[in-house]
């Protein structure tokens, strides 16, 4: 076998010259190059925005969701939702390591790993879908995947269930980025605070703001608000409609002494929430879009349209040490871990 491109361009079928993520189709041939890793896949965690779209398109029919996933992977050689453009991540067992990598990485055949790069660029071949859990966006499969030389991964920890680690690592970029962005004394708004990434971001933000700061969590109804209040991850909780930006703004102002927030974190899985993230933020504040349903155009033109001078950050799923930072949250908080074990394992 020969050495492929570090970033996987050798697997791009259409259009030539692009990287695997923006490519329409890539090769999912399981004969690996010398600088690739072959993974025996157990679970896919489909990106929340993607799975929400698939569920809606299928009318909640699990068999139709299965068919659509198989169709996408067959057509593209990867799991990249054609509507949202997003993917997800996977866990599996290392089956083979290319000769160029064997002495350069801390992996051996048989190790259980989670890939920390998107399924939207990962060569994937699904032999069979065994089970779909639509409540947590998880797909159990028999199949193979390929990790490029540039691909990042995490060995699954020995102190927690593999599925628990998968649930956390699926959103690892969010709390790790919050740790970098939020400072002591900040006022932070978390949109979608009751979801997987929202809970982790709320918990991390509360740690970072300290005694002089404030974390405001948004919930869409009374039941979710009561759940969020019970976690004690937020100082204040609002019930508001994320598709109604002025409703979000009014609710924030009402519990924040008429002031806008310093930072807004968007952890939603639905489109058209850009202005709900921007409007409640003060001038020169920060808006962090972790949601893969975010439209750059709507965010950029929306901020301009309401005269908001804010720094807007795309939710890069990777930041240094994000896997350990996120897993440590579960280790350090019995309450957070219990919620994840109940909802996502």
Give the three-state DSSP class for 281: strand
Mean predicted confidence (pLDDT) in 29-39: 97
Q: Residues 197, 295: one domain?
A: yes
- CB 183 within 8 Å of CB 208: yes
Q: Residues 150, 208: one domain?
A: no
Q: Residues 132, 224: one domain?
A: no
| CATH number of the domain where residue 321 is located | 3.40.50.720
> Considering the chain, what percentage of its residues have pLDDT values greater than 70?
100
pLDDT of amino acid 1: 62
d(CA 266, CA 205): 13
Count of other CB atoms within 10 angstroms of residue 2: 8
Does residue 165 form part of some domain?
Answer: no
Domain boundary among 109, 127, 156: 156
DSSP letter (8 states) at residue 160: S
Q: Are strands 25-26 and 88-97 parallel, antiparallel or unpaired?
A: unpaired
DSSP letter (8 states) at residue 100: T
Does residue 203 form part of some domain?
Answer: yes
Q: Residues 339, 193: one domain?
A: yes
Q: Residues 320, 232: one domain?
A: yes
Does residue 338 form part of some domain?
Answer: yes
pTM over 0.85: yes
Does residue 168 form part of some domain?
Answer: no
Q: Residues 224, 110: one domain?
A: no
Q: Residues 238, 283: one domain?
A: yes
Give the three-state DSSP class for 42: strand
Contacts of 65 (CB under 8 A, 6+ apart): 54, 55, 58, 132, 134
Residue the block writes with tokens 């996120």: 326
Strand partners, 129: 141
Q: pLDDT tens digits for 142-195?
A: 999 999 999 999 999 999 999 999 899 989 999 999 999 999 999 999 999 999
pLDDT of amino acid 344: 86
pLDDT of amino acid 308: 97
Q: pLDDT tens digits for 241-270?
A: 999 999 999 999 999 999 999 999 999 989
d(CA 18, CA 192): 34
Q: Residues 193, 140: one domain?
A: no
Q: How many domains does the chain have?
A: 2
Whether 85 shows a pLDDT value over 90: the answer reads yes
- CB 61 within 8 Å of CB 108: no
Q: Residues 194, 230: one domain?
A: yes
Q: Residues 99, 218: one domain?
A: no
Strand partners, 264: 189, 287
d(CA 209, CA 205): 6
Structure tokens at 196: 């997987």
Domain boundary among 99, 127, 156: 156
Tell which residue, 271, 320, 335, 332, has the closest CA to residue 297: 271
- CB 37 within 8 Å of CB 108: no
Does residue 1 form part of some domain?
Answer: no
Q: Residues 151, 181: one domain?
A: no
Does residue 102 form part of some domain?
Answer: yes
Range of the domain at 309: 173-344
Give the three-state DSSP class for 94: strand
Does residue 2 form part of some domain?
Answer: no
d(CA 69, CA 315): 24
Q: Residues 46, 131: one domain?
A: yes
Does residue 162 form part of some domain?
Answer: no
């Amino acid at each position: 076998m020969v050495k492929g491109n570090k970033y996987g361009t050798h697997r791009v079928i259409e259009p030539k010259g692009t990287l695997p993520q923006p490519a329409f189709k890539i090769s999912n041939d399981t004969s690996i190059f010398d600088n690739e890793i072959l993974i025996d896949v157990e679970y896919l965690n489909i990106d929340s925005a993607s799975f929400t779209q698939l569920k809606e398109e299928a009318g909640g029919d699990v068999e139709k969701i299965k068919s659509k996933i198989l169709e996408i992977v067959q057509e593209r050689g990867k799991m990249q939702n054609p509507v949202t453009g997003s993917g997800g991540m996977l866990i599996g067992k290392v089956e083979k390591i290319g000769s160029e990598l064997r002495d350069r990485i801390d992996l051996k055949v048989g190790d259980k790993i989670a890939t920390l790069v998107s399924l939207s660029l990962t060569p994937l071949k699904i032999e069979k879908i065994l089970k779909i859990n639509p409540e947590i966006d998880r797909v159990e499969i028999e199949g193979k995947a390929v990790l490029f030389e540039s691909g990042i991964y995490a060995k699954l920890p020995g102190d927690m269930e593999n599925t628990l680690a998968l649930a956390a690592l699926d959103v690892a970029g969010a709390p790790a980025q919050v740790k970098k962005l939020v400072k002591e004394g900040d006022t932070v708004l978390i949109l979608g605070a009751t979801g997987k990434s929202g809970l982790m971001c709320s918990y991390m933000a509360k740690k970072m703001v300290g005694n002089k700061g404030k974390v405001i969590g948004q919930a869409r109804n009374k039941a979710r608000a009561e759940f969020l209040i019970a976690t004690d991850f937020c100082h204040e909780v609002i019930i508001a409609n994320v598709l109604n930006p002025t409703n979000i703004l009014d609710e924030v102002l009402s519990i924040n002494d008429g002031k806008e927030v310093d930072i807004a974190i968007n952890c939603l899985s639905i489109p058209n929430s850009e202005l709900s993230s921007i409007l409640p933020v003060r001038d020169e504040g920060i808006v962090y879009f972790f949601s893969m349903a975010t439209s750059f155009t709507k965010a950029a033109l929306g901020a301009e349209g309401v005269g908001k001078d804010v720094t807007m950050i795309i939710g890069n799923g990777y930041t240094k040490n994000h896997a350990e930072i996120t897993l440590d949250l579960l280790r350090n908080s019995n309450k957070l871990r219990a919620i994840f074990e109940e909802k996502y394992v």
